[in-house]
Amino acid sequence: MKEAHHEGDEQHQGHGKIYKFGMVVDLDKCTGCGACMVACMAENNIAFRKDETNKTRSNFWMRVYKISNGLPFPDTEISYIPRPCMHCEGHGHHHTPCVSVCPATVTDYNHETGIVSQIYTRCFGCRYCMAACPYHVRVFNWWDAKWPKGMEKYLNPDVSPRMRGVVEKCSFCFHRFQRAKNKAFTEGRREVREDEYQTACTQACPAGAITFGDLKNPEHRVYKLKDSPNAFRLLEKLGTNPKVYYVSTRAWVRKAADVYVGKEGEGATCA
């Protein structure tokens, strides 16, 4: 199955089609409103505390970073970088950074979807995966989740809340994929359509900056968007092979997103 996935084989295996879900974020459209973060927290029952001033202990599956070109007024420009889990595929002899290090097989790369999963009830909180992830995607539950009175009634029944002492991260709303797959199967289809499976952050973005879909499927919008000359990925040269792409027409944004930009200038358009 792994080989089929890497070779881009479209054949049906196991219980259905082989996907490679990914995301393309247009940074020129992102206004930094944070709706994606809010939607993600609500969708995935992400715990929060009354005092969230210490951001190094906050739970964000989707986090929006603000960057600047560093120039003085009137040349100052800013950009926002929404950062979900990159669902790294790895390449060559490198596995997904967090998957290969987890000592208890808590996290796994699903070759049917390309999604990196996390089994919360198996995690014993060694936090090695957090050390392995260069994107700070993984967060630890420093406290037990305590919901404001009555809010537990509004939790998403499809997503299990996490206990303290375990690591959690963005799942590309995998429960939505499961729901969409069930629906497709009951309707006699083996394939989930693009509009049937969308992440919460994608749907919440008012600017339409986030596009989600199957990176291998030419009919999905992400297929073309990821091949844009202005597309790039975070820390591409490390070889993590992330499945979240960013697009920006501004060269300084592309440069700021990687520790190097070796390919910069090849067809890129500058603002």
Partner 1 sequence: MDPASAPFDSALIPKGVKRCQLKWFLLWIAVLNGPLMVGTVAALMCWGLALNVTNLSNNYPFGLWIAADLGIIALGAGAFFTGFLRYIVKIDDLKHIVNYAVIIGVVCYASAQGILGIDIGQPLRGWFIFWHANVHSMLTEVAFCITCYFMVLCIEYLPLILENRQVYKLGFFHGMAHHLHEAMPTIAAIGVFLSFFHQGSLGGVPGVLYGRPFAYREGFLVWPWTFFLFILSAIACGPCFTILITRITEGFARKRLVKRNVIDILAKISGRLLVLYLVLKTLDTVYWIAMAGKVGAPLSSFYANQPYGYWVLITELGILGVIPAILLLIRKTRQNDNVLILACVLNCAGIFMNRWIMTVQSLAVPVMPFDRFISYHPNWVEYASTFLFVWAGAIVISLSYRYLPIFSQEKELNPL
Which residues lie near partner 1 (CB under 8 A)? 54, 56-58, 65, 67, 81, 94-95, 97, 100-106, 122-128, 130-136, 138-144, 163-167, 234-235, 237-240, 256-260
- Rank residues 197 and 245 by Cβ distance to partner 1 and give the closer one: 245
DSSP 8-class letter at 159:
S
Please say which residue, 1 or 154, places its beta carbon nearer to partner 1: 1
Structure tokens, 167: 């690591």
Non-local CB neighbours of 86 within 8 Å, separated by 6+ positions? 135, 137, 233, 234, 240, 242, 243, 244
Round to whole Å and give the CA distance between 67 and 242: 20
In whole angstroms, the minimum distance from the beta carbon of 79 to partner 1 comes to 9
Residue number with CB closer to partner 1 (41 or 130): 130
User: Nearest distance from residue 218's CB to partner 1, in Å?
Assistant: 31
The two structure tokens encoding residue 120: 């919360």
Cβ atoms of 69 and 252 closer than 8 Å: yes
d(CA 36, CA 244): 15
Q: Which is nearer to partner 1, 36 or 184 (CB)?
A: 36
What is the closest distance, in whole angstroms, from the C-beta atom of residue 134 to partner 1 in the complex?
A: 4
Rounded Cα distance, 212 and 228, in Å: 15
CB of 223 to partner 1, least distance (A): 26
When the beta carbons of 27 and 184 are compared against partner 1, the nearer one is 27
**Shortest spacing between CB 51 and partner 1, in angstroms:** 12
- Residue recorded with tokens 């002899």: 93
**Least distance from partner 1 to the Cβ atom of residue 232, Å:** 12
* CA trace torsion 16, 105, 237, 20 (10° rounding): 10
